[in-house]
Amino acid sequence: MERTSCACQACQRCCRFLSAWLIPSDLERLIPSGANPFKWAESNLLASPGPLVVQVVEQEFRSCSEMPKCARRFVRRRFRVPSLVLSANADGSCKFLSTTGGCSVHEVSPFGCAFFDGHARRSQVGDHLLRAGLNSLIEAGSEHLYHRLRRHLIRKGLVSPPPEVQRARMREAGAGQPSEGR
């Protein structure tokens, strides 16, 4: 999937209402060389409870009526993948959205911006990319800088509203529904 480069009104609506989420490899591009990552994060990132994810798991259980037989069922398990997002202004817009509607970090924009814009629609490729991004958060391990920054921001009270709250605010403003990746 190619990186998005659009900056039309549909794409900017995401920047006005949603916090773009980061994956661990985004930190290398976003944090300036020589900067203290914790100080930089306090000014530029927020800890997010993360997106709600649904995982379908197969469970086996023994049938009560016939003990030798096993029955299977599929169960949906909902959970959050805690994440980091770009910081927001008081109005909820992205800190990096300029007054002219441009992005001041576009060349190094994080995963949530780089591959999902206002035109993206659900597709197998997009779903695969989204899963890969979420998996990178899980696979990074609790002591990776990504998760240490997240814990640091939580201790400082620098926390974003959940994505579903941001989407509801977007709908209330009549701005429509964003792509799935943001």
Per-residue pLDDT tens over the stretch 24-70: 999 999 999 999 999 999 999 999 998 887 777 777 665 555 555 55
Kindly report, residue by residue over 126-135, the tens digit of the pLDDT: 677 778 888 8
> Is pLDDT above 50 for 5?
yes
What pLDDT is attached to residue 41?
98
Percent of the chain with pLDDT over 90: 30
Distances (CA, A) of 93 to 20, 87, 136, 159: 10, 9, 26, 15
Domain boundaries, the chain: 9-51+83-172
pTM exceeds 0.85: no
> Is pLDDT above 60 for 138?
yes
Give the whole-angstrom CA distance, residue 27 versus residue 146. Answer: 7
